[in-house]
């Protein structure tokens, strides 16, 4: 302590420090929340790609064409995807609460047997379709699961959500799809 | 059960760190033995809880306990056991947990080594370390929680990122990186303590420098291991792309290197104390900036972690650390007055300054290039990338200039040099400089920067080798000893100096290899049908067939490419494309045939049973970059080990000589 002189503020340090750090922090703050990987889907506003797929467990193929006039929510999912699993409850609840919206699952890169087991343990009020060759996923430009598309009654994609959703997000986006038809 | 145990351990670590930070600062302000004892105990407790939390996570990973959220995200029953073990650092939450482990070990080692030394400084240092520890514990307790409970656990998980499973280098790179990054916490705490006490004496610069050097060795290895991994795995043929995440590791390395050099001037002449402290603080802040860059999802990079919620939290910590550092510096830096005086004329002193300024200039250049795209996007809303041209154009002159001062500095004496001294110091190395440059010309080097790198490389190599063995030659002359005996004797006193020159030798080799490999290579893209051949330089490549390879966790298609050089067969290379379980993207693995002169590098663009699209490169001298790094790390260790032993042996008072081996720390 012998050499310590009474403290004085070193103005040069303050000015140099602020000149370097403030702009840096400003830029970082301004960019928070930005996702450099997110590319706005070019499909938004366009007609949803058509498909005709067989539901899990068999049955007649379901096609998007036949659902025209009703807003549709298409959820790409898989049994091996943890966020899909977390999202499942929100989706089934939203589907029950919105009877005028048609929910559809499309199984992404998964085995039918596993999917069947999954759905037996966790029943879902809407059908999930098997996309065995991944053609629907490619047509919709699915990058990873879960990804969910919101389609209005005219068959136009209104919005797309990447990652798991909560019930309120689903409801908000489904409303957008309902309004989109007008 | 396991998630709860993990959460309790994290909370205990948070508690120990927060309490320890408070006790440390309080004891620093009003020194007393009891306070110091408790600060130490809490530091050890923090370390112990972090170790236990990590062991708990390893247990969960190995027993595939999918009720632990982190295991549910990265675990899988289908991956080999070693993948399960290293999954600890394969994803965001686990990597922060591992960070806590490394931090705990560093803090415990630094505390116990200095338990009976530097009583004025140490409580403050422990306070600062544990404050940093408290922040990372807080991250683990909340925003990046690895031990959340999964209510209805799945039977199996997706497994870690396939890139981690693709190459063993990805297994060892992160531990080195964290050991380098986290290690910078220790010098940061010591520098803050010096500011708080208002003095940076010759005795205290020693632990500061040692921990800085230790972390520097790890960081050096980590950066190059990262580059090596990129080279062996990513398939574009290079080892460094000035990617934000690469820059994130390079920035603190630059300031740490500068600080290691200026610390020498503090020790030798009692000057540049404030400047050295600034560099040490900046190094730590840059590691936090790097952590933010890799984990906030703000920067676009091939190897950052995915988008996460911890970005804002780290940013708040970075801002707090910046404010703390700035206030501390503004209030206290004037108390670290200089004891000596820097020479102004032509001398080693001045070259040290030039070297330091070059490193700082380099830091700003890289930082600017990394952040600039963000500025543009914030202001104009367009995505852009600064890219390699900027970085290459800026870094090449700085690199060559550093090579130059690395030769001139050690050649000049301390203090002002006379004209005669200058001539005898600077003229002889010109011989090697010219020899190497002419050799380059003969071998076809035409790029002026590469020639300049060879010229200065030769100059600096001669100075370095002659300085490295100067004490040995002096002993041989004055004591009439044989080389081996003189070498051994010279090591007793001058090991650190010797180690430093070994590091320089490695650095010269690294810079020259980088210059040659980045300018003297050749490449070609070809599409080959089955049985067809193509040539690049002396090599002929023939696509023999596509082969299917099945491993438990992946399906691969590999191309068998027969290689011959000047008509002589060299066997086959097998670049491949792999499809991992549960991952959509295919991952290519290049095949590299390395030799000391050049690498033949083959990677696949596209492949089917009848044809293959290949990228073929000849990369000269790349192996020497890896060798040069090993030399640098070795030199660092040579310089470090005796000073640790020496410190223990010469410390005043009854010091229990804690034999903490360097190999023992993370």
Residues A49-107 have pLDDT tens digits of 989 899 988 888 888 888 888 899 999 998 877 778 778 888 998 998 888 899 999 99
Does the pLDDT at position B301 exceed 70?
A: no
What pLDDT shows up at residue B7? 96
pLDDT of residue B651: 41
Least confident of A3-17, A111-125, A150-164, B458-472: A3-17
**Phi, psi at B415, each rounded to 5°:** 75, 175
Q: For residues B472-494, give the mean pLDDT.
A: 85
Q: Can you spell out the DSSP letters for B182-228?
A: HHTHHHHHHHHHHHHHT---TTTHHHHHHHHHHHHHHHHHHHHHHHH
The residue-averaged pLDDT of B613-623 equals 93
A25: nearest CA in chain B? B319
Write out chain B residues lying below 8 Å of A85, CB-based. 154
Average pLDDT over residues B72-87: 86
Q: How far apart are CA B211 and CA B121, in angstroms?
A: 15
Give the C-alpha separation, B561 to B531, whole Å: 10
Domain count, chain B: 2
CA angle B304, A169, A167 (to 5 degrees): 110
CB of A7 within 8 Å of any CB in chain B?
yes
**Domain end call among B307, B327, B347:** B327
State residue B631's pLDDT score.
Answer: 97
Range of the domain at B211: 2-327
Q: What pLDDT is recorded for position B655?
A: 37
Residue of B247, B327, B335 for testing the chain A interface, max A β-carbons within 10 Å: B335
B303 lies within 8 A of chain A by CB? no
Cα(B206)–Cα(B370) distance, rounded to whole angstroms?
Answer: 33
B387 pLDDT above the threshold of 80: no
Q: How confident is the model at residue B649 (pLDDT cuts 50, 70, 90)?
A: very low
Is it the case that residue B137 has pLDDT exceeding 90? yes
pLDDT at residue B628 is higher than 60: yes
Kindly determine whether residue A4 and residue B335, on different chains, have CB atoms separated by under 8 Å.
Answer: yes
Domain residue spans in chain A? Answer: 52-180
* Interface residue A36 vs chain B (CB under 8 A): yes
For chain B, what percent of residues have pLDDT higher than 70? 91
pLDDT at B648 over 60: no
- CB-based contact B333 A13, cutoff 8 Å: yes
In a domain, B160, yes or no: yes
- Say what percent of chain A tops pLDDT 70: 90
Assess A17–B contact: CB distance below 8 Å, yes or no: yes
3-state secondary structure string across B371-412: HHHHHHHHHHCCCCCCHHHHHHHHHHHHHHHHHHHHHHHHHC
Residue B344 lies in a domain: no
Render pLDDT for B496-517 as a digit per residue (tens, 0 to 9): 899 999 999 999 999 999 999 9
Of A138 and B406, which is predicted with more confidence?
Answer: B406
Q: What distance in Å separates the CA atoms of residue B92 and residue B136, rounded to the nearest whole number?
A: 13
Inter-chain residue contact B582 with A144, CB threshold 8 Å: no
pLDDT at residue B652 greater than cutoff 60: no
Q: Residue B642's pLDDT band (boundaries 50, 70, 90)?
A: low
Tell me the C-alpha to C-alpha distance, in Å, between residue B171 and each of B90, B176, B474, B580: 9, 10, 46, 17
Confidence at B383, pLDDT banded by 50, 70, 90: low
A24, A34, A37 ranked by CB distance to B371: nearest: A24
Cross-chain residue pair A4–B371, CB shorter than 8 Å = no
Per-residue pLDDT for B75 more than 50?
A: yes
Q: Which of B327, B349, B347, B346 lies closest to B338 in space, CA to CA?
A: B349
List, in order, residues 6 or more apart from B155 with CB less than 8 Å away. Answer: B66
Distance from CA of A94 to the nearest CA of B (A): 20
Peptide bond into A146 cis (omega under 30): yes
Checking if the pLDDT of B416 tops 90, the result is no
Q: Considering the domain boundaries, does residue B373 fall inside one?
A: no
Q: How many CB atoms lie within 10 A of CB B656?
A: 9
Surface of A (153-172) touching B: CB under 8 A: none
pLDDT band at A144 (very low <50, low <70, confident <90, very high): confident
Most confident of A94-103, B227-236, B331-340: A94-103
Q: How confident is the model at residue A181 (pLDDT cuts 50, 70, 90)?
A: low
* B81: three-class secondary structure by DSSP: helix
Instruction: Please give the DSSP secondary-structure letter assigned to residue A47.
Output: B
How crowded is residue B76: how many other Cβ atoms within 10 Å of its Cβ? 21
Cβ contact, residue pair B322, A25, below 8 Å:
yes
pLDDT at B415: 80
Per-residue pLDDT band for B338 (boundaries 50, 70, 90) equals confident
Distance of CA B431 to the CA centre of its chain: 34
CB-based contact, B299 to chain A, within 8 Å: yes
Least confident interval from A108-122, B180-194, B647-661 = B647-661
Q: Do B330 and A18 touch (CB under 8 A)?
A: no
Question: What pLDDT sits at residue A34?
Answer: 60
Question: CA nearest B337 in A: which residue?
Answer: A3
CB within 8 Å of chain A, chain B residues 361-390: 367, 371, 374-375, 377-378, 383
pLDDT at residue number B138: 95
Statement: residue B380 has pLDDT above 80: no
| Higher-confidence position of B388 and B297 | B388
| pLDDT confidence bin for B385, thresholds 50/70/90 | low
Q: Does B72 touch chain A (CB under 8 A)?
A: yes
Burial A98-137 (b: 16+ CB within 10 A, else e): beebbbbbbbbbbeeeebbebbeeeebebbbbbbeeeebb
B373 to chain A, minimum CA–CA distance in Å?
Answer: 10
- Left (φ > 0), alpha (ψ -120 to 50) or beta: where does B582 sit? left
Supply the ipTM of this predicted assembly.
0.76
**Mean pLDDT: which of A11-25, A135-149, B159-173, B444-458 is highest?**
B444-458
Q: In this complex, do B584 and A27 lie within 8 Å of one another by their Cβ atoms? A: no
Range A52-180 classified under CATH 3.30.465.10: no
- Assign B650 a pLDDT band (cuts: 50, 70, 90): very low
Hey, are the CB atoms on A28 and B297 less than 8 Å from each other?
Answer: no
* Closest residue of chain A to B319, computed from CA coordinates: A25
Please, which residues 84-123 of chain A have a Cβ atom closer than 8 Å to chain B? 85, 109
Task: Please report, for residues B425, B556, B559, B579, B608, the alpha-carbon distance to residue B549 in angstroms, rounded to integers and kept in the order given.
Answer: 61, 5, 10, 10, 14
Domain stops at, among B308, B327, B346: B327
Residue A139 has pLDDT above 70, yes or no: yes
- A136-140, B108-112, B340-344 — which one is most confidently predicted on average? B108-112
Residue among B64, B52, B67 nearest B11 (CA): B52
Greatest CA separation found in chain B?
A: 81
SS3 A167: helix
A29 in reach of chain B (CB within 8 A): yes
N-terminal to C-terminal alpha carbon distance within chain B: 29
Q: To which H or E segment does residue B8 belong? A: helix B2-29
User: Do the beta carbons of residue B185 and residue B40 sit within 8 Å?
Assistant: no
| Interchain CB distance below 8 Å, A1 and B197 | yes
B29-65, pLDDT tens digit by residue? 999 999 999 999 999 999 999 999 999 999 999 999 9
Tell me: pLDDT of A36 over 60: no
State chain B's mean pLDDT as an integer.
Answer: 88
What pLDDT was estimated at residue A115? 87
Subunit contact B311:A36, Cβ cutoff 8 A: no
């Amino acid at each position: 302590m012998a050499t310590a002189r009474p403290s004085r503020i070193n103005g040069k340090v303050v000015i140099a420090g602020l000149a370097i750090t403030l702009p840096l922090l400003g830029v970082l703050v301004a960019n928070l929340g930005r996702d450099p990987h997110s590319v706005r889907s070019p499909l938004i506003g366009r007609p949803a790609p058509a498909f005709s797929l067989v539901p899990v467990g068999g049955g007649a193929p379901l096609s998007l064409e036949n659902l025209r006039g009703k807003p549709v929510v298409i959820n790409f999912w898989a049994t091996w995807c943890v966020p899909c699993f977390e999202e499942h409850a929100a989706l089934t609840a939203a589907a029950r609460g919105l009877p005028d919206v048609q929910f559809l699952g499309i199984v992404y890169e998964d085995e039918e047997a596993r999917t069947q087991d999954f759905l037996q343990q966790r029943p879902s009020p809407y059908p999930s379709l098997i996309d065995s060759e991944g053609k629907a996923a490619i047509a919709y430009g699915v990058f990873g699961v879960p990804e969910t598309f919101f389609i209005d009654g005219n068959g136009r994609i209104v919005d797309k959500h990447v990652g798991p959703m909560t019930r309120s997000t689903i409801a908000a986006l489904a409303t957008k799809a309902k309004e989109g038809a007008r | 059960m396991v998630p709860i145990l993990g959460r309790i351990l994290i909370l205990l670590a948070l508690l120990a760190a927060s309490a320890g930070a408070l006790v440390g600062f309080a004891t620093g302000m009003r020194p007393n033995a009891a306070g110091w004892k408790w600060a130490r105990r809490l530091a050890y407790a923090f370390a112990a809880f972090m170790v236990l939390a990590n062991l708990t996570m390893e247990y969960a990973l190995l027993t595939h306990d999918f009720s632990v959220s982190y295991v549910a995200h990265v675990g899988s029953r289908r991956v080999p056991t070693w993948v399960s073990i290293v999954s600890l650092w394969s994803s965001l939450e686990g990597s922060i947990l591992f960070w806590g482990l490394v931090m705990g070990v560093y803090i415990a080692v630094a505390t116990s080594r200095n338990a009976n030394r530097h009583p004025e400084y140490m409580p403050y240092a422990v306070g600062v370390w544990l404050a940093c520890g408290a922040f990372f514990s807080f991250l683990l307790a909340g925003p990046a929680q690895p031990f959340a409970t999964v209510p209805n656990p799945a039977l199996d998980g997706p497994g870690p990122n396939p890139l981690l499973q693709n190459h063993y280098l990805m297994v060892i790179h992160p531990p080195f990186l964290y050991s380098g990054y986290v290690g910078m916490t220790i010098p940061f705490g010591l520098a803050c303590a010096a500011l708080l006490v208002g003095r940076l004496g010759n005795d205290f610069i020693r632990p500061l420098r040692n921990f800085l050097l230790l972390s520097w060795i790890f960081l050096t290895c980590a950066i190059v291991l990262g580059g090596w991994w990129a080279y062996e795995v990513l398939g574009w043929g290079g080892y460094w792309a000035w990617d934000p995440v690469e820059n994130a590791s390079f920035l603190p390395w630059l300031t740490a290197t500068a600080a290691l050099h200026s610390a020498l001037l503090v020790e030798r002449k009692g000057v540049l104390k404030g400047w050295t402290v600034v560099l040490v603080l900046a190094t730590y802040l840059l590691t936090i900036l790097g952590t933010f860059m890799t984990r906030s999802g703000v920067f676009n990079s091939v190897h950052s972690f995915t988008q996460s919620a911890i970005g804002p939290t780290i940013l708040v910590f970075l801002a707090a650390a910046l404010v703390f550092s700035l206030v501390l510096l503004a209030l206290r830096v004037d108390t670290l007055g200089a004891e000596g005086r820097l020479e102004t004329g032509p001398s080693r002193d001045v070259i040290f300054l030039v070297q330091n300024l070059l490193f700082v200039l380099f830091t700003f250049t890289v930082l600017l290039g990394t952040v600039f795209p963000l500025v543009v996007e914030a202001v104009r809303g367009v995505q852009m990338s600064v890219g390699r041209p900027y970085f290459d154009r800026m870094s090449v002159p700085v690199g060559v200039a550093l090579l130059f001062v690395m030769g001139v500095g050690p050649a000049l004496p301390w203090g002002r040099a006379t004209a005669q001294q200058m001539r005898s110091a600077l003229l002889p190395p010109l011989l090697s400089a010219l020899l190497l440059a002419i050799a380059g010309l003969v071998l076809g080097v035409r790029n002026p920067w590469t020639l300049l790198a060879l010229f200065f490389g030769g100059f600096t190599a001669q100075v370095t080798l002659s300085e490295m063995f100067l004490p040995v030659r002096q002993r041989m002359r004055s004591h009439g000893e044989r080389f081996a005996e003189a070498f051994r004797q010279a090591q007793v006193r001058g090991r650190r100096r010797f180690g430093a020159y070994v590091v320089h030798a490695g650095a010269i080799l690294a810079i020259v290899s980088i210059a040659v490999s980045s300018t003297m290579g050749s490449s070609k893209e070809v599409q080959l049908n089955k049985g067809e051949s193509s040539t690049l330089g002396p090599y002929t490549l023939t696509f023999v067939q596509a082969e299917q390879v099945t491993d438990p966790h992946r399906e691969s298609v590999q191309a068998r490419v027969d290689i011959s050089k000047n008509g002589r067969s060299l066997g086959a290379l097998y670049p491949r494309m792999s499809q991992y379980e549960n991952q959509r993207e295919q991952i290519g693995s290049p095949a590299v045939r390395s030799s000391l002169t050049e690498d033949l590098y083959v990677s696949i663009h596209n492949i089917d049973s009848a044809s293959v699209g290949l990228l073929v490169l000849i990369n000269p001298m790349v192996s020497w970059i890896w060798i040069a790094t090993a030399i640098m790390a070795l030199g660092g260790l040579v310089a470090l080990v005796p000073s640790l032993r020496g410190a223990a042996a010469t410390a005043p008072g009854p010091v229990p000589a804690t034999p903490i081996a360097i190999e023992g720390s993370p």
